[in-house]
Amino acid sequence: MASLQDQLLQAGLVDKKKAKQIGKEKRKQQKVAKKSSQPQVDETKLAAQQARADKAARDRALNAERDAAAQQKAIAAQIKQLVNNNRQPYSGETAYNFTFDKKIKTIYVSEILRDHLIAGRLVIVAQGEQFELVPRVIADKIAERNTEIIVKPTETSTSVDEDDPYADFQIPDDLMW
């Protein structure tokens, strides 16, 4: 089969020069059409890339949350191990009052343990609803991990008010009410 151009040439309606010029113009138009269609990016590809980026961001956030939870769990296990390995057994008849979580709590200890608590050699650590006595060194290690479970000793003020009429009468530390 001959093309339309060949048929027109045979019929004598178009000469060779005119046919070549029309062919050139046709090829130029096709080139321009190709170039202009290339820069256009497929919208579905863009949407897919955006979806992948969003999913990656969500995954990173979830992984960070999981890592933080695992870190907290590991710290809690370390604290529990420190307390269980270093707790001092206590029982006695002397009440020792302290404040924890804005409430006054009481544990019963012996006189020797009470003296150690007052001197700061022993520290009270909360384990849920239980309270344990641990040495100061261990309490410092626990405080590095979580300061909220350490019972802070009450601070006694040694400053004397100038106008205090009872300034000459000091209350002894070991006074039992």
Domain locations in the chain as residue ranges: 4-37, 87-145
- Sorted by sequence, the CB contacts under 8 Å of residue 92 that are 6+ apart come out as 108, 109, 110, 111, 113, 114
pLDDT of residue 109: 92
pLDDT digits (tens, 9 = 90+) for 60-108: 999 999 999 999 999 999 999 998 998 888 888 888 998 888 888 899 9
pLDDT digits (tens, 9 = 90+) for 28-42: 888 887 776 554 567
pLDDT digits (tens, 9 = 90+) for 130-144: 899 999 999 999 989
- Sorted by sequence, the CB contacts under 8 Å of residue 14 that are 6+ apart come out as 5, 8
Alpha-carbon distance of 76 to 71, in angstroms, equals 9
